[in-house]
Homo-oligomer: A and B are copies of this chain.
Amino acid sequence: MNLKRWLPCIGWAASYNRVTAGKDALAAVIVTLMLIPQSLAYAMLAGLPPITGLYASIAPLFLYAIFGSSRTLAVGPVAVISLMTAAALGPMFATGSSAYIGAAMLLAALSGVILLLMAVLRLGFLANFLSHPVISGFISASGLLIALSQLKHILGVKAEGQTVLQLLPSLAEQLPLVNMPTLLVGGVCLLFLQLARTRLKDLLLGLGLSSGWADSLTKTGPVLTIIVSVWVVTLFNLDSSGVRVVGRIPEGLPILQLPTMDWQLALQLLPAALLISLVGFVESVSVAQTLAAKRRERIDPDQELVGLGAANIAAAVSGGFPVTGGFSRSIVNFDAGARTPMAGILTAIGIAFTALFFTPLFHNLPHAVLAATIIVAVLSLVDFGSLKRTWRFSKQDFIAQAATMFGVLFLGVEIGIILGVSLSLLLFLWRTSRPHSAVVGQLPGSEHFRNIERFSVVQSEFVVSLRVDESLYFPNARYLEERITQLMVEYPECKHLVLMCSGVNLIDASALDSLEAIAERLTAAGIQLHLSEVKGPVMDQLHRSDFLQHFGGHVFVSQYAAMQALDSASVGRAAQG
């Protein structure tokens, strides 16, 4: 049972049969056709030779199939992680150099180790602190930035830069040097891919195809584009007219080897690896969760850390770069009928065959076509409407989202995400440190007590009751002290203060100290503190301190019991109705 938890593959392998195999195989064929151009393109985006994209789509898929808990997640290179890889390595090494390639492998290794450590230390919850507005802002801004960074390939020029402020002037400067054949090829591909994405399905449906087939064929748009463009380049010998092509890709499978262990470099790459791990994990888990729910399956986020960690280590030792679960790819896998991670293994075999035998076919593949594939894919992720929706819904979330987008576009990918996470954490802590609390009074004719500001209730002259709608822990411990000091000034006649604890699920050591300080200060001012409606677990906890012995007040089962004991008039008020 325990082994099955750590090796989810045992679960599905036991009942694997021919029917499932057929479904998995079909899905694998479709995903392989989709993954080939994607892996070549994302390798280019990451600043790496195209072959590394294929390498990153073989071993990682095997490992995820063994250790991952999602049945249909398709792992491999993805746009955002490739951009983050380029952002981390670009300023340090010459693009495509062997030092660059080695550092990308090291980055994958670090990311794998971090994910596995998070699994062992149960730190998966850390991913929660990438709030949705931050993630959404990050992905939109990254999409724009990626599209902008790929524009040079469509124009056939050289432009450098990590932010909008660097890329735009660099592109503008190069504008006179535009290579027309490249622009033609790139422009036509861009147009075709965009139409394929938005219109092709309707067209195929119009031709009488089933929705499933129309969907699957639509997804082969990129492969079709590649085949046609390679053919056109070869036919018209376009590479001699300045259209840059992929060139010779070494055939064969990656050689397994450990990345060079440069500790100095590892330390430098650590922050980037941390961000890549977190972002990759969050993206992947949300896709996996969405797909699992559709079939009432479950994924285990801690096990996902193991699966993605193993996949990244596999990428590191087989000449790849950081990988994670891809959004569109996983949906295609799911829709094509994949039932188990065997589909992933079959996909990996498909890519391995490609790397072994078909790489010469990609010699004449233009960079512009790969760039067009990327641009169309990432622009679909850009969602400025989200900014507006967030603004309408919550100003605080908007601040975090806008800061993330601004940071990514103008200051750099890593700074952007750090800015967003810090701001959302800071705003969260600020909100947490002032919990909702209300002075309550008795609803005449009842034993109920309600907020005096919202209901027409009766208060006792000598007894003040405060309800706190939050657990008491250190972020709000001081708030409680301040609130009660304030109450003491507001109610000079007060002799008893009842803290109504119906909303308190936990009291930590800081809050206990605060309660003790409060009780002491109240006593010094001639007021007695009492508690009411304390939940069972909280009461158990208080018994583990000596607070109850020496705070001098009572713990009442209900707020009404407290008022009965402290203010006899309340009984009359309850009967009055």
Residue numbers of A with Cβ under 8 A of B are 125-129, 131-133, 285-286, 289-290, 292-299, 301, 389-390, 392-394, 396-397, 401, 424, 428-434, 436, 469-470, 473-479, 481-482, 485-486, 488-489, 492, 503, 505-506, 508-510, 512-514, 517, 520-522, 524-525, 541, 544-545
Contact = CB atoms under 8 A, between A and B. Distances in A.
B392 A545 contact: yes
B544 A132 contact: no
25 contacts: A125-B434, A128-B429, A128-B476, A128-B479, A131-B474, A132-B474, A132-B477, A289-B481, A289-B517, A290-B517, A293-B522, A296-B488, A296-B525, A297-B489, A298-B485, A392-B544, A393-B509, A393-B541, A393-B544, A394-B508, A396-B508, A397-B508, A424-B474, A431-B473, A431-B506
A290 B545 contact: no
Contacts of A129: 429, 474-475
A298 B486 contact: yes
A115 B204 CA distance: 66
B545 A389 contact: yes
Contact of A482 (B301, B397, B489, B545): B301
B128 A521 contact: no
Q: Which residue of A301, A509, A517 has the most chain B CB atoms within 10 A of its CB atom?
A: A509
A128 to B, nearest CB: 5
A482 B272 CA distance: 28
Given A128-B476, A290-B521, A397-B509, 6 more contacts: A128-B433, A132-B514, A289-B517, A289-B521, A392-B545, A428-B474
Contacts of A521: 289-290, 293-294
Shortest 3 CB-CB contacts between residues of A and residues of B: A293-B521, A131-B474, A397-B509
B392 A475 contact: no
A429 B124 CA distance: 12
Contacts of A301: 478, 482
A462 B473 CA distance: 38
Contacts of A492: 296
B510 A293 contact: no
A6 to B, nearest CB: 19
Contacts of A430: 125
A508 B401 CA distance: 13
* Chain A interface, >50% SS class: helix
Nearest to A133: B509
A289 B485 contact: yes
Contacts of A470: 505
Nearest to A294: B524
Q: Which residue of A131, A293, A433 has the most chain B CB atoms within 10 A of its CB atom?
A: A293
B509 A298 contact: no
A394 B525 contact: no
A117 to B, nearest CB: 14
A246 to B, nearest CB: 39
A133 B510 contact: yes
B508 A293 contact: no
Contacts of A478: 127-128, 285, 301
A430 B396 CA distance: 22
Contact of A509 (B295, B394, B431, B510): B394
A238 B508 CA distance: 54
Contacts of A503: 469, 503
A127 B428 CA distance: 15
A132 B509 contact: yes
Nearest to A389: B545
Q: Which residue of A133, A473, A492, A517 has the most chain B CB atoms within 10 A of its CB atom?
A: A473
Nearest to A474: B131
A423 to B, nearest CB: 12
A545 to B, nearest CB: 5
A436 B505 contact: yes
Contacts of A508: 131, 394, 396-397
Nearest to A488: B296
A196 B295 CA distance: 76
A479 B299 CA distance: 13
A520 B478 CA distance: 41
A431 B425 CA distance: 15
Nearest to A427: B508
Contacts of A132: 474, 477, 509-510, 513-514
A76 B307 CA distance: 57
A441 to B, nearest CB: 18
Contacts of A293: 485, 488, 521-522, 524-525
